[in-house]
Amino acid sequence: MLTACGFQLQGHTPLPKPLERAYVDAKDKQSEFVQGLRKALLTAGAQLTEEGQASAVVHVLEDNATPRVLAVSSTDVPREYEIIYTVRVSVTGDGKELLAPQEIIARRDYSFDEYVLLAKDNEDAILRAALARDLVGIVMRRLSRL
């Protein structure tokens, strides 16, 4: 009865047939976003292959996280930052464009205190990883609709 209404467990996004054998084309293959995307594709049942053997190529055209100062103190010391994580993705398969280039942006802000610098560096890394996971989820949902 639940399957008849289209119910699916979160995190288990079925992929369309062209993505059964996929290749992820990215400049930085070790970024958190690309690694997360590869894991998500494998979890969804895709077989990751070399570019020549793939039925679809997921192109990661842009993948960067940029910090930006949001607020400064009266002594000109940054007090609040924003991390802007931007990815741009497209998909080609069988000689045609399956998904036009799409830019997806996620943002988070956090406070900064120079007295706890080590903890704030760790917080920055954790926020970047969380943003990458969020973006992977968005991309996977878009890929499931191809």
Residue 122: the pLDDT is 78
Could you give the 3-state DSSP secondary structure of residue 57? Answer: strand
The predicted pLDDT at position 57 comes to 96
pLDDT digits 0-9 by tens, 126-136: 889 999 999 99
Check pLDDT > 80 for residue 78: no
Q: What are phi and psi of 114, to 5 degrees?
A: -65, -15
Nearest to 33 by CA among 56, 65, 66, 68: 65
Q: Where are the domains of the chain?
A: 13-144
71 touches 79 (CB < 8 A): yes
pLDDT value at position 7? 56
Q: Model confidence over 7-63: pLDDT tens digits?
A: 555 556 578 898 999 999 999 999 999 999 999 999 999 999 998 899 999 999 999
**87 vs 7, more confident:** 87
Q: For residue range 94-112, list pLDDT tens digits in order.
A: 889 999 999 999 999 877 7
Name the pLDDT band for 118 (thresholds 50, 70, 90). Answer: low
Token digits for 125? 């890394």
CATH architecture observed for domain 13-144: 2-Layer Sandwich (3.30)
Helix (H) / strand (E) element for 35: namely helix 32-43
